Structures are given as structure tokens and as C-alpha cells.
Structure 1
Amino acid sequence: MDRRTVLRATAAGGAAAFAGSLWSGAALAAPAQPGVGPYGPLGTADARGLQLPAGFTSRIVARSRQVVAGTSYTWHDAPDGGACFAAGTGWIYVSNSEITTTGGASAIRFNADGTIASAYRILSNTNRNCAGGATPWGTWLSCEEVSRGYVYETYPQGGLAAVRRPALGRFNHEAAAADPVRQVIYLTEDETSGCFYRFRPTVWGDLSAGTLEVLVAGTATSGPVSWTRVPDPDGSPTYTRQQVSGAKKFNGGEGCWYADGTCWFTTKGDNRVWAYDAVNQRIDLAYDDSLVIGGTAPLTGVDNITGSRSGDLYVAEDGGNMEIVLITPDAVVAPFVRLTGQSSSEITGPAFSPDGSRLYFSSQRGTSGSSSGGITYEVRGPFR
């Protein structure tokens, strides 16, 4: 399959173009607070150990080191970041493998009725592929979470070899999100003094060349920001995060999601969800567990993030009480799903099917607490 065919196959509904934000400036006037979610309380655990609101059901679609049902493909260890892509009348879910030196990414192709059609490898023998992001042209950016790591552009449809994209910078990559309006890729860095970057391709849709920039701002948690070019994206001998004076530092960059003029990203070191307003070039706090008023913070261990068509943000926990917690456009924080019996794991890779009816995610270490025990789930129900 050539690149032109890939573009035609995905143009009708790639994950990067999914979801429109309903958030307003008023909603960002103060960080989100606990409240009653749109789907009500969580029920008792189902047969797979998932607590879900009424009307939602779960199934397991893959387990590490086990053959994916209906295929001959063995699912990878330590499933991490993921995304969904339209594929004919069905869709594809891709998932990274956060394993040292033998990581990479795999894909599961689903038929229109949700049955599994095939599963296969799209990236092999790379290093701690943690999160990443989907592009509007239907590729998956798989990011290496190691010092001076690379971003690899992969092809969920199969048939094309993955391509290393050094122009996006060499650093401790975490996640990526495409902004088709400004034609940039936003990038997070998993360091205690990491930065927030954007990459401006010379030609939109071609990541072989372009300019890497870093966000520059003061020490405040909200306000106007600017961007400055990173002199040496290779990060050697000086790390990219140390090259620009005034670059704003973030405590452990994690998930990243773009929708309707805003790039949302998370930082695990301080349990925050940030909103970069690309239209007005400013940042604000959408959530901060230390600013929850009264009671226990409903979201801790802040990690991967995705969005739904309603504008709800879905934030996965690394630790915490093993929940995916949603933040609504009117700034209400509430749990959506809780995994029981998996306290030594983390939730990774949340992503919606192109029609918004199914949510995919993984428990990286499952009930065993080992990278060989990963479990990938699907949740169906009346998503708004």
C-alpha cells in the first residue's frame, strides 16, 4: 500500500481530526472541580473487574503474550499509548509497547460490526515506546521515552515501513498531537524539568524537515506564551530542554490531545492538566489536584489523555485508584471507569473508535503487575 492509498483510506475519519471542543474561556477561569459526571455513579465490578456506569459494557480484545482472538498474532508486552483510525467500513486500534530495545507498536483491525479482522506489527525493535499521537493524514507517531529518543512515523494500515523522524527532536519523548489549523505537531517531554514543544513541518504532511520550537513563558501557571526555535534538535551535547533561556519547565510531561484550537497536555509530577490556547497563545490550568476544594481529589497519577465528540476529556491514571476520569467542558471532574485488582499497573492508551461509540485502553501490567500481563480493553455504551 503506497502513501497515497493510506491518505485516501484515512481521510474520512482519522483519530487526529476527531472531537470538537465545547470548552469556553469561562470554563478555564478556574481549575475543574469534583462533581456528578454525565453518566452517573460507577456500578459494581463486571466479570473483567471493571466498574462502569449503567449502560456500559466491557470486553478484552488482547492480552500480552497471547494470540489476539481470530488471528495468529501475539500481542505485545506493556501496551501503552494508542489511537484509533478509520479503515474502510471498520477501524484500527494501534498500541505502543513500552519495552526497552524490543518495543515498537502493534495494530488490531476491526470489522464494521466490531469483530476482529486481523492484528499485526507496525513498528519493531525500538526503545520504550510510551505514548505518541495520530496525524490527520492517518499515521501514528510512536515516541521513545528515553534520553535523546526518537519519534517514528508508522502506518496503521500496514504495507509501509515505519520511518524515523529526527527533525521532531531527540529528547525523552512522551506524546504528540497534531494541530491541522496551524499545521504543527505539539510534543511533551517526560522529565521533571521538561518542556513543551511544537514542530512546524516545512511541508504539512511531510515530517522529514521543519523547525522545532519550545514554549517560552514566565513561572505563572497561566498567561500569555511565545515560541522560540530550538537551535539543535539533535540534543547533543546539550539537551533540547536546556538550549533556550526562558523555556517554561513542566514536571513530567505525559499525554497530549488537540481539539478545536486547544492542545491539552498533562504533567504527572504535579497532577495537572494544562490547556494551551493556540488561538490566543496562552496557557491555563484545566485541573490541579492540589486545588480541589473540599474532599479528595478524584484524579491523581495523571497520565494519558484523549477527547470525545462531546468535548469531554478522558484522563487515564498511572496509579491513583486505577481510573479513567473525565473532565467535562463545564469543568466537572468525575470517574468514568475503575479497574479493580490491578493496583500494580497503570491505565494507558485511551482512544475512541471513529464513530465515538467505543473506547479502547490498556492496563499496562494487568493483574500480574508484570509487563507480560498487559490487557487491552474495549468499552461500549451511550457515550454522549
Structure 2
Amino acid sequence: MHRRTFLRSVTAGASAVAFSGALWHEAAAALPAATAAESPYGPLLAADANGVALPSGFSSRVVARSLRSVGGSLWHSAPDGGACYPDGAGWIYVSNSELPLVGGASSIRFRADGSVDRAYRILSGTNLNCAGGATPWHTWLSCEEIYRGRVFETDPYGNRSAVARHAMGRFKHEAAACDPDHRVVYLTEDEEDGCFYRFTPDVWGDLSRGRLDVLCAKGGDAVEWRPVPNPSAPLTQTRHQVDAARHFDGGEGCHYAGGVCYFTAKGDKKVWAYHTASQTVTALYGGGGTLDGVDNITGTTAGDLYVAEDGGNMEINIITRDGAVAPVLRIEGHPESEITGPAFSPDGSRLYFSSQRGSSGETTGSGGVTYEVRGPFRH
């Protein structure tokens, strides 16, 4: 398929997602904050044989364990951010490795029946690859969570080498979310006084050049974007280059849908919503419910958000389009771990995620476990 034809097809698909996301935006805008309520899937049952508590009608399986072979490849330790991609009749799940010096990322290729075809590395020799984000042109942005960290654009299909995208800034990167409506990429920063950024490429689909802006306070919930003078500055960090920059305590996951970019901040345990039309930032969820230790975030075409916990009681919670917050799964027996990399298969029927340190609590060892949950997800 020619590149232009491919991008047109991706844009059309994104428009369909944006429509349902717009419905969620309208519902969310009417709520001061999402609140604890009953799950649309019902209560969690006792944990299954894999230690995963699920609602009735859902099932889990383990697809990979750290330092064990999966699909002919050794699965990495400390699995973190992830995403899914279509692959003919099957699909691919990508996962980062939040290890120092040897982090990188790997892919698992699934056949149409859900069985594992093979696994392989798509990025090696990088440092603490935490979260990231998928692009509409089917690449994976793998982000380094270190001082002057880089964003690497990688190929989930394993056909092209990874490329560092320095124009997207050198800072303690966490997550990325592409906005095909405005042709920008939003970026979070995992610092106590981290910022929220927007990268505008010169050419949509080419991240080698562009402008990096930082979100700035304008009064009340109103915000504006100002250019970061030197995104690759070796001494003055990006978050300190613009005095009016708005700061968030520990930026984590990031997800865009229907004119809204949702991002989490672990320091204040909030889920924030940046509304592109009104140029405002509001707290969608401010704690006090079942969701604790907010971290990675993803969403569905139904307009629901799914937020993974770093610690807490090891749950993934749903925030419905009606503003209800409730657990949809819990991992038992992993008190020193965190849930990472939630991502839905292209058809929305399977949810992938990992327990980064597993039951052992060891980051660099064999504790990491990557799961698949199947069930009647709303999509």
C-alpha cells in the first residue's frame, strides 16, 4: 500500500474513534469529577488460577514471563508501556522494558486464533524505557525515563531499525499520545514538577523535525502553549525554560480521544483532561475512589478509559463515559509490583497488560508477567 493511501485509511479510522470519543467528551465535560460506582461488568469474583480477579464472563491467561522464552525469544524483565497493532488476520503486542542501560522494547506476534506466532526485539541498548505511545502510521514511540531521555520511534513489525527523535525533546519522558485531529503528539514528564508538552511535526507522519511547546497557565482552567526555546539543551531542562509553564506532580500515562487528551499524575493521584476546543485543563478524577496510584491509561472506541495502578491494590479501573469509576480486574499476590502496558487488541476483545515485578517484587529478575484478558468489553 502506498504511504499516502495508508495515511488516508488511518485518518478515516481515527475519525471513527474520534466520533465515539466526542460522546465521551460531552459526558465528561458535564461532570465535576468521575466518582466511584458499580462496574458495568459487575463485581470482581475470586482470583482465578493466574491470580487475576475478574468479573463474570471474563478469563485470563499468561502470555509471557520475564527471562523465559516466548515465541522463540527471551522475554524482557520489567515490562512497562505497551500497545497493540493489526497484523493481517492477527495482531501484535509491543512492550517496553524499564531496565537501566539495556531497556528497549519487544513485540509478540499473535495468530488469528490468539496463539503466539513469535516474539522479537524491536529496540535494544536504551535506558529505562517506561511508557510511550502508538502512532496512526503504526509505529511505537518508546520513551526513556531518565535525565535528558529520548523518544525512539520503533517498528512493531520488526522490519525497520529504531530512530531517536531528538526534536521531541530531551527530558524524563513518560508517555506519548498522538492527536490526528490537530496533527500533534502530546508528551508527559515524570518529574515532581514535570510539564505537559505538545510536539508539532513539520510534516505529519515524520517526527524528525518540528516544534516542541509546553503547556502554560493562563488563569483558572485556561491554558496556552508556548515554544520550548531549546528542547535539547544540555544544562537547562525543558521544564525550567518557560516561566509560565504549568507543572504536574509525576506525569504518567497519556491517551487522546475525540478532542480530549487524558493524562495521569501519580503525585496527586489525578486523571487530567486537556480539552483542545476550549483550551482548558480540568481534573476528571481526583482520588477518593477505588482507583489509586494512577499510571498507564488507555481507552476504547466505546468512550471508556482504563487506568492501571502503580501499587495501590494492583487494579485496572474503568472510567466510563458516564463518569463511573470501578475496578475491572485485580492481580492478587503482587504487593510490590505495578500494572503496566494496558492495551486492547484491534478488535477490542482482548486486553493485554503486565505485572512489572510480579510476586517477587524484583525489577531486574524474572518476576515480570504479561497477561491477556478476554471478555465482553464494551467497544
**TM-score, structure 2 normalization:** 0.94
CA shift in 2, pair 1:142/1:24, >3 Å: closer
CA shift in 2, pair 1:18/1:24, >3 Å: closer
CA shift in 2, pair 1:154/1:32, >3 Å: same
The letter for the 2-side match of 1:56 is F
Deviations, residues 119-174 of structure 1 (Å, cap 9, x unaligned): 00000010000000000000000000001100000000111100000000000000
Deviations, residues 89-146 of structure 1 (Å, cap 9, x unaligned): 1110000000001000000011111111110000001000000000000000000000
Shift of 1:278: 1.2
Q: Which residue of 2 aligns with 1:300?
A: 292
CA shift in 2, pair 1:63/1:13, >3 Å: farther
Shift of 1:24: 3.8
Which residue of 343, 346, 356 maps to 2:335? 343
Q: Which residue of 2 aligns with 1:67?
A: 69
Q: 1: CA distance between counterparts of 2:4 and 2:45?
A: 44
Shift of 1:310: 1.2
Shift of 1:27: 2.8
Tell me the SS of whatever aligns to 2:32.
coil
Structure 2 matches for 1:280-299, cutoff 5 A? 280-289=278-287, 292=288, 297-299=289-291
Q: 2: CA distance between counterparts of 1:6 and 1:378?
A: 32
Structure 2 matches for 1:106-125, cutoff 5 A? 106-125=106-125
Q: Which residue of 2 aligns with 1:263?
A: 261
Q: Which residue of 1 aligns with 2:86?
A: 86
Q: Which residue of 1 aligns with 2:326?
A: 334
The letter for the 1-side match of 2:368 is G
Q: 2: CA distance between counterparts of 1:219 and 1:130?
A: 32
**Maintained 8 Å contact 2:193/2:250:** yes
The letter for the 1-side match of 2:312 is G
Deviations, residues 215-247 of structure 1 (Å, cap 9, x unaligned): 011574xx2211000000003221000001110
For the aligned residue pairs, the C-alpha RMSD in angstroms reads 2.1
Tell me the SS of whatever aligns to 2:358.
coil
Comparing 265-274 with 10-19, greater Cα deviation is found at 10-19
CA shift in 2, pair 1:217/1:80, >3 Å: same
CA shift in 2, pair 1:344/1:6, >3 Å: farther
Q: Which residue of 2 aligns with 1:383?
A: 377
Tell me the SS of whatever aligns to 1:217.
strand
**Maintained 8 Å contact 2:84/2:343:** yes
Q: Which residue of 2 aligns with 1:205?
A: 205
Structure 2 matches for 1:1-384, cutoff 5 A? 4=3, 11=10, 20-21=20-21, 22-25=23-26, 27-28=28-29, 29-68=31-70, 71-218=71-218, 220=220, 223-289=221-287, 292=288, 297-371=289-363, 372=365, 373-384=367-378
CA shift in 2, pair 1:322/1:17, >3 Å: farther
**Maintained 8 Å contact 1:53/1:336:** yes
CA shift in 2, pair 1:238/1:156, >3 Å: same
The letter for the 1-side match of 2:249 is N
Tell me the SS of whatever aligns to 2:167.
helix
CA shift in 2, pair 1:42/1:75, >3 Å: same
The letter for the 1-side match of 2:202 is T
Q: 1: CA distance between counterparts of 2:119 and 2:4?
A: 20
Comparing 280-289 with 206-215, greater Cα deviation is found at 280-289
CA shift in 2, pair 1:300/1:160, >3 Å: same
CA shift in 2, pair 1:26/1:85, >3 Å: closer
Q: 1: CA distance between counterparts of 2:150 and 2:292?
A: 28
Tell me the SS of whatever aligns to 1:27.
helix
Tell me the SS of whatever aligns to 1:279.
coil
Shift of 1:3: 9.6
CA shift in 2, pair 1:350/1:3, >3 Å: farther
Runs of 5+ consecutive residues of structure 2 not aligned to the other structure: none
CA shift in 2, pair 1:154/1:24, >3 Å: closer
**Maintained 8 Å contact 1:15/1:86:** no
**Maintained 8 Å contact 2:27/2:323:** no
**TM-score, structure 1 normalization:** 0.93
**Maintained 8 Å contact 2:41/2:55:** yes
Runs of 4+ in 1 over 2 A off after TM superposition: 2-8, 10-20, 24-29
The letter for the 2-side match of 1:303 is D
Shift of 1:17: 8.2
Tell me the SS of whatever aligns to 2:141.
strand
CA shift in 2, pair 1:102/1:319, >3 Å: same
Comparing 193-202 with 23-32, greater Cα deviation is found at 23-32
Q: 1: CA distance between counterparts of 2:249 and 2:208?
A: 29
Q: 2: CA distance between counterparts of 1:5 and 1:349?
A: 30
- Aligned-residue identity in percent: 61
CA shift in 2, pair 1:99/1:339, >3 Å: same
